[in-house]
Amino acid sequence: MDHIFPNPRFASDEGLLAYGGDLSPNRLLKAYSKGIFPWYNADDPILWWSPNPRLVLYPDSFKLSQSFRRRLRNNAFRVHFDRDFPSVIAHSSQASRKGQSGNTWITPQIIEAYTTLYEMGFAHSVEAYDEEDRLLGGLYGISMGGGFFGESMFSLAKDGSKIALKGLSDVLLREGFDFIDCQLPTEHLQSIGAQVLHRTIFLDELHATLQKGGKIGSWSDWNWEYGGD
């Protein structure tokens, strides 16, 4: 029996499963292993969700529009991993996501919790730079088994987060990962290849991918480059 969270397979489509508790590393990792993530505003108790449907991007399914493909080909971009986690989560806290004006759910408590997971080798940042080493955008999330569980992204320049996500997809494909969990469906992510899955299918795929060892620890030795031909 799971004494921490209810079974997400029996949750409503909205997906709210529980409230309260804490953001300790053990609780967070337990949540992600069950397909559950925290999402709440600063004045709320901690709310735990597993919505139906779920949005997933498979690393080999990233769709490039002609304009984005041309942009990658004609400009030199680099994507690094775990180069500047504090900046990535700080920028993400100012970005707009999930219908909010600013990520009010990325509280100091969230930042502290995910920074701890970063130090433990479970949370990772992805940073996109131009040829002059200017930060364009990025994202962060959790890695377990063969899955990457995206939490938030940001852009400081055109296509900044998209470049970071493309780099992440390519590197995860190279490293044998199965999927990127994007949590909630959005038109933008679906336009670049993310697929809407019934929660039951997602949870089955999650269970399978957790059988993989994954890569716990720093990803700073991974990087990817584009364009500049």
- Asked if 166 and 27 count as a contact pair (C-beta separation under 8 A), the reply is no
- Asked if 137 and 128 count as a contact pair (C-beta separation under 8 A), the reply is yes
What value does the mean pLDDT of the chain take? 93
Architecture of domain 8-49: 2-Layer Sandwich (3.30)
Give per-residue pLDDT as tens, 109-167: 999 999 999 999 999 999 999 999 999 999 999 999 999 999 999 999 999 999 999 99
| 8-49 and 54-226 have identical folds | no
CATH number of 54-226: 3.30.750.24, 3.40.50.410, 1.10.10.60, 3.40.630.70? 3.40.630.70
- Asked if 13 and 52 count as a contact pair (C-beta separation under 8 A), the reply is yes
- Asked if 46 and 20 count as a contact pair (C-beta separation under 8 A), the reply is yes
- The domains of the chain are located at 8-49, 54-226
Residue with tokens 């909630």: 184
Look at residue 31 and tell me whether its pLDDT is greater than 70: yes
pLDDT at 98: 46
pLDDT at 13: 97
- Token pair of 87, please? 């900046």
- Asked if 182 and 189 count as a contact pair (C-beta separation under 8 A), the reply is yes
Residue partners of 91: CB distance under 8 A and separation at least 6: 138, 154, 156
Give per-residue pLDDT as tens, 164-200: 999 999 999 999 999 999 999 999 999 999 999 999 9
